[in-house]
């Protein structure tokens, strides 16, 4: 009896830590924390942490295994990117610099366009252009009359 | 039989539209003598609508009756589907949705034909021609490339049924909304082109098409929100917007359309940006056609999808043709489109509108670039790179914040020259209060910079806008002695356009609060629970009570978990998240269960159970703070747009009746 008890105690001492350790492996939240930053190439735009397909479950298992092996989040992301391309990453890596190049260019060009417009629209009319301006003023008079002409036309049309 | 009727009616519709286009142009060439031709073209364009209605009606009838010999019916419908889904099958597949698109276009054009043309008669022939051109293109696709009426050699027992993800009430109304928005924008484009071609370049095309633009904008906005709501309810990933190519396709014309709605004001008030407005509406039209193509072709998932069907080159050919056409007329009329006024001061409403437009355009280009990035990289680098949510949030977030901020600043700037004192007075209180709010949030331990900026800007813009209402109401109360409610009502009725716009601004603020809250403060956790076990997230505790599994019909297996939700030891709800498995499509669909309050959504997903048996199930739970503000904002957006678009009684009177000698026409007398 004593021997059996001793074996049980021994077994408990030996087995318990492993059992506890297994439970202490990466939690589902820890797996999800990595999975959220990944997209599998098949499922359209569904993040890996919530994708219900079999394939995505397998990817999550891979993450779990690698976390158990002690890999860091970045190492796991790098692994998937290397295997399946940068498209699997929710956040594109800096080597895809072209992704930011155009938005940055748009920003610069937009600011330049704004400054250009504001300057050209507020600049006083040069002397040489005064003849043109006089012509424009005459045109403008016509333009100013236009609403009245149109109203007249509209009313005439309604009389018809 | 019905398929033949549908096809014949469609072909007749196509022929009628071609006739309408030709007759209108002939009439326009003949000048005054062409009136009969134009009248005939007008009737023809109207007639396309009933013809396509017969076509769509035949298709709907076949979908309901289950005429599976028709290939399209067999691919989108099945015996077991409820009737409303069978009807929705009309827009559930590519061929049908193109037919539906044509029908909506025909309906819009017919309605436009019924308007009172009066002095805009000169625009009529070209509006007919341009609307007919759009209809012709889509009908050509339906007749020759993607016809939903073609038959199989045999009669299948049953159809495949619609993609399970689409079997949702949201999917029944979301695509029609989107299409109403898409197609709606073809009307202002037709008016713009008509103005260019006829040379009548005053604001009349803007006035004539303003309500159509607003209607299109409203439908497109609702389409976008409903799409988000559908994703939130059906896709089960706790969010509502994934920057999916299909979502982006609908967002792009919305962005340029919104820019257009704002920049036409500068033309109406100051006679500036005439050229630019033409460009904006043309671009919007192009993006609408591109959007229809993107949502339908799957080109973004692979360039090879492009080559597989003739539809890709045709779409691109048509877009190129229309762009070329617009550019040609824009250049021809460029001298007539010069600004009538110069900028009096940098500090003016005009400048604010310029910045607003630049932001909208840069936002559009950014999203377009991101959407096409897989194509660009596949063509030039050989490897297809899809940009995901991380990139979009990075580039779009700041631009969205800047746009919302402009909403708070622009309305307090006056036209021509704004005085710094007035600006200071209008912005001082909102600025102080919103900074106080930010300080308060910091004290509450909010450390996320993005969230502080988001809430700060939202508060600032909301307060400036409310202050505009309050000041106007107070002024009226002082002068007319009305109480605040009456005064508020009066100022809105007297200037629907302005205050409707402000209501829309407030609705955007509500949405911004919802987006900020749910984006920066979403919490989540996942875990496996045995029956009777609990899991806790953010003050909520769920208790797993059991799992039921059953079969519905032949195709659908349902697994539904029951969880009790506790808060402060009190049972507040029972939620039943489920997983539907559609055998035919081999597709699982996660249906979340949600407990909604004004402050937050508690959102439970059943992740798995099979591997571990029904005694244990895995759940993922989300806490989405403030998300309902987003949906509430969408409702308010409808109200605001309707207020802005509602005809006011004064404006409907003919000019002679509204105008009395001695009456001074000021800016406030807004003849809409």
> What is the average pLDDT score of chain B?
88
Distance CA(B603)–CA(A115), nearest Å, equals: 48
Give the mean pLDDT of B282-304: 77
Question: Hey, where are the domains in chain B?
Answer: 1-161, 419-520+629-658, 523-625
- Residue A1 pLDDT: 44
- Residue B206 pLDDT: 92
- Residue B294 pLDDT: 82
What residues have CB less than 8 Å from A69, skipping those under 6 apart? none
- Residue A141 pLDDT: 59
**CB nearest A103 (choices: B345, B366, B527):** B366
- Residue B11 pLDDT: 97
The number of beta carbons lying within 10 Å of the beta carbon of residue B545 is 14
What residues have CB less than 8 Å from A15, skipping those under 6 apart? none
Nearest CA-CA distance, residue A7 and chain B, Å: 31
Task: Output B553 or A129, whichever has higher pLDDT.
Answer: B553
Partners of residue B605 in chain A, C-beta under 8 Å: 50
Give the mean pLDDT of B286-306: 71
Percent of chain B past pLDDT 90, that is, above it, reads 59
Partners of residue A91 in chain B, C-beta under 8 Å: 388, 390-391, 394
- Residue B596 pLDDT: 93
- Residue B303 pLDDT: 47
Q: Do A146 and B202 touch (CB under 8 A)?
A: yes
Q: Is the pLDDT assigned to residue B517 strictly greater than 60?
A: yes
Q: Do B365 and A157 touch (CB under 8 A)?
A: no
Q: In the numeric block, which tokens belong to residue B207?
A: 């006035």
Q: In the numeric block, which tokens belong to residue B549?
A: 């599994």
Which residues of chain A, if any, have pLDDT below 50?
1-2, 8-22
CA nearest to B579, candidates B552, B602, B600: B552
pLDDT band at B202 (very low <50, low <70, confident <90, very high): confident
For the stretch B606-628, pLDDT in tens is: 988 765 566 889 999 999 999 99
Distance CA(B629)–CA(B608), nearest Å, equals: 31
Distance CA(B285)–CA(B9), nearest Å, equals: 27
Distance CA(B578)–CA(B580), nearest Å, equals: 6
**CB nearest A87 (choices: B351, B386, B655):** B386
Partners of residue B204 in chain A, C-beta under 8 Å: 150
Nearest CA-CA distance, residue A34 and chain B, Å: 13
- Residue A156 pLDDT: 72
Among all chains, which residue has been given the structure tokens 């992704």?
A99
ipTM for the predicted complex comes to 0.79
Contact by Cβ (8 Å): B544, B561: yes
What residues have CB less than 8 Å from A155, skipping those under 6 apart? B654, B655, B656
Identify the CATH class of A2-91: mainly alpha
Chain A residues 39-68 with CB within 8 Å of chain B: 39, 44-47, 49-53, 57
Q: Do B340 and A140 touch (CB under 8 A)?
A: yes
Give the mean pLDDT of B133-159: 91
For the stretch B109-142, pLDDT in tens is: 999 999 888 888 889 999 999 999 999 999 999 9
Question: Hey, where are the domains in chain A?
Answer: 2-91, 95-123, 126-160
- Residue A53 pLDDT: 81
Give the mean pLDDT of B379-399: 90
**CB nearest B373 (choices: A50, A99, A114):** A99
Q: Specify the DSSP class assigned to residue B478.
A: H
For the stretch B634-659, pLDDT in tens is: 999 999 999 998 886 654 444 433 34
- Residue B313 pLDDT: 84
Nearest CA-CA distance, residue B486 and chain A, Å: 34
Q: Do A157 and B118 touch (CB under 8 A)?
A: yes
Nearest CA-CA distance, residue A25 and chain B, Å: 13
CA nearest to B292, candidates B193, B384, B367, B185: B185
- Residue B442 pLDDT: 93
Residue B307 buriedness (CB in 10 A; 0-12 / 13-18 / 19+)? exposed
List the alpha helices (DSSP H) in chain A.
2-23, 28-35, 54-68, 73-84, 98-122, 130-159
Q: Do A28 and B369 touch (CB under 8 A)?
A: no
pLDDT band at B455 (very low <50, low <70, confident <90, very high): very high
**CB nearest B390 (choices: A90, A103, A154):** A90
Among all chains, which residue has been given the structure tokens 């709800």?
B573
Which of these ranges, B392-406, B547-561, B646-660, has the smallest mean pLDDT?
B646-660
A99 inside 8 A of chain B by CB: yes
Partners of residue B339 in chain A, C-beta under 8 Å: 121
A22 inside 8 A of chain B by CB: no
Q: Do B388 and A91 touch (CB under 8 A)?
A: yes
**CB nearest A150 (choices: B204, B361, B377):** B204
CA nearest to A65, candidates A80, A52, A51, A54: A80
Partners of residue B527 in chain A, C-beta under 8 Å: 27-29
Partners of residue A159 in chain B, C-beta under 8 Å: none
Partners of residue B346 in chain A, C-beta under 8 Å: 118, 122
- Residue B657 pLDDT: 39
Q: Is the pLDDT assigned to residue B483 strictly greater than 80?
A: yes
Q: Which run of H or of E encompasses A27?
A: none
């Amino acid at each position: 009896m004593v021997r059996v008890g001793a074996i049980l105690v021994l077994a408990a001492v030996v087995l318990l830590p492993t059992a506890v350790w297994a439970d202490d492996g990466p939690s589902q939240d820890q797996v999800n924390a990595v999975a959220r930053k990944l997209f599998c190439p098949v499922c359209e735009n569904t993040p890996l942490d919530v994708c219900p397909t079999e394939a995505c479950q397998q990817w999550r298992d891979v993450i779990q295994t690698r976390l158990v092996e002690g890999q860091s989040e970045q190492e796991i992301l790098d692994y998937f990117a290397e295997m399946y391309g940068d498209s699997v990453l929710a956040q594109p890596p800096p080597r895809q610099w072209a992704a930011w190049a155009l938005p940055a260019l748009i920003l610069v060009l937009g600011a330049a366009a704004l400054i250009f417009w504001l300057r050209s629209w507020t600049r006083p009319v040069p002397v040489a252009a005064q003849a043109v301006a006089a012509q424009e003023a005459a045109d403008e008079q016509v333009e100013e009359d236009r609403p009245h002409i149109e109203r007249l036309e509209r009313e005439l049309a309604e009389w018809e | 039989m019905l398929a033949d009727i549908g096809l014949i009616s469609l072909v007749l519709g196509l022929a009628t539209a071609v006739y309408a286009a030709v007759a209108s142009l002939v009439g326009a060439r003949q000048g005054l003598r062409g009136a009969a031709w134009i009248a005939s073209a007008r009737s023809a364009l109207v007639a396309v609508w009933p013809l396509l209605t017969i076509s769509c009606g035949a298709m709907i009838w076949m979908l309901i009756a289950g005429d599976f010999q028709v290939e399209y019916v067999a691919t989108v419908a099945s015996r077991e589907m409820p009737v409303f889904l069978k009807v929705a099958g009309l827009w559930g597949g590519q061929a049908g949705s193109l037919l539906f698109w044509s029908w909506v276009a025909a309906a819009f054009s017919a309605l436009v034909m019924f308007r009172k043309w009066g002095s805009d008669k000169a625009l009529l022939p070209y509006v007919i021609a341009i609307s007919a051109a759009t209809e012709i293109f889509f009908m050509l696709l339906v007749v020759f490339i993607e016809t939903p009426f073609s038959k199989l050699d045999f009669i299948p027992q049953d159809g495949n049924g619609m993609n399970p993800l689409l079997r949702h009430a949201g999917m029944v109304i979301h695509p029609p909304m989107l299409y109403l928005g898409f197609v709606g924008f073809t009307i202002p484009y037709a008016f713009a082109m008509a103005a260019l071609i006829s040379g009548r370049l005053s604001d009349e095309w803007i006035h004539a098409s303003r309500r159509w633009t607003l209607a299109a904008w409203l439908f497109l906005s609702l389409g976008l929100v409903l799409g988000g709501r559908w994703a939130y309810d059906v896709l089960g990933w706790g969010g509502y917007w994934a920057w999916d190519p299909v979502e982006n396709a609908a967002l792009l014309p919305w962005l340029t359309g919104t820019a257009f709605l704002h920049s036409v004001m500068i033309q109406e008030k100051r006679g500036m940006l005439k050229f630019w407005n033409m460009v904006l509406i043309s671009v919007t039209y192009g993006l609408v056609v591109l959007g229809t193509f993107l949502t339908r072709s799957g080109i973004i998932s692979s360039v090879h999808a492009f080559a597989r069907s003739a539809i890709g080159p045709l779409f691109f050919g048509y877009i190129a043709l229309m762009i070329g056409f617009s550019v040609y007329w824009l250049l021809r009329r460029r001298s007539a489109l010069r600004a009538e006024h110069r900028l009096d001061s940098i500090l003016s409403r005009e400048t604010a509108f310029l910045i607003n437009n630049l932001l909208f355009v840069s936002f559009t280009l950014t999203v377009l670039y991101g959407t096409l990035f897989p194509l660009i990289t596949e063509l030039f680098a050989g490897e297809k790179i899809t940009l995901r949510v991380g990139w979009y949030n990075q580039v779009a977030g700041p631009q969205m914040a800047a746009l919302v901020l402009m909403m708070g600043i622009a309305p307090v700037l006056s036209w021509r020259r704004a005085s710094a004192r007035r600006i200071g007075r209008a912005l001082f209180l909102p600025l102080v209060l919103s900074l106080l709010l930010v300080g308060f949030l910091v004290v509450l331990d909010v450390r996320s910079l993005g969230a502080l900026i988001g809430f700060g800007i939202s508060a600032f813009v909301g307060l400036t806008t409310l202050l505009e209402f309050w000041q106007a109401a107070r002024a009226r109360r002082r002068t007319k002695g009305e109480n605040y409610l009456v005064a508020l009502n009066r100022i809105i009725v007297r200037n629907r356009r302005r205050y409707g716009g402000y209501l829309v601004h407030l609705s955007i603020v509500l949405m911004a609060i919802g987006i900020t809250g749910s984006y920066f403060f979403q919490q989540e956790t996942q875990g496996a629970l045995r029956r009777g076990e609990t899991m806790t997230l953010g003050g909520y505790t769920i208790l797993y009570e059991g799992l039921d599994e059953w079969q519905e019909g032949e195709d659908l297996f349902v697994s539904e978990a029951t969880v009790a939700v506790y808060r402060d030891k009190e049972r507040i709800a029972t939620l039943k998240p489920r997983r539907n498995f559609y055998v035919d499509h081999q597709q699982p669909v996660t249906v979340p269960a949600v407990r909604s309050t004004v402050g937050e959504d508690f959102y439970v997903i059943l992740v798995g159970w099979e591997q571990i048996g029904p005694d244990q199930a895995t759940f993922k739970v989300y806490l989405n703070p403030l998300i309902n503000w987003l949906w509430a904002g969408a409702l308010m957006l409808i109200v605001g747009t309707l207020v802005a678009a509602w005809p006011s009684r004064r404006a409907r009177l003919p000019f002679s009746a509204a105008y009395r000698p001695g009456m001074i026409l000021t800016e406030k007398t807004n003849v809409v």
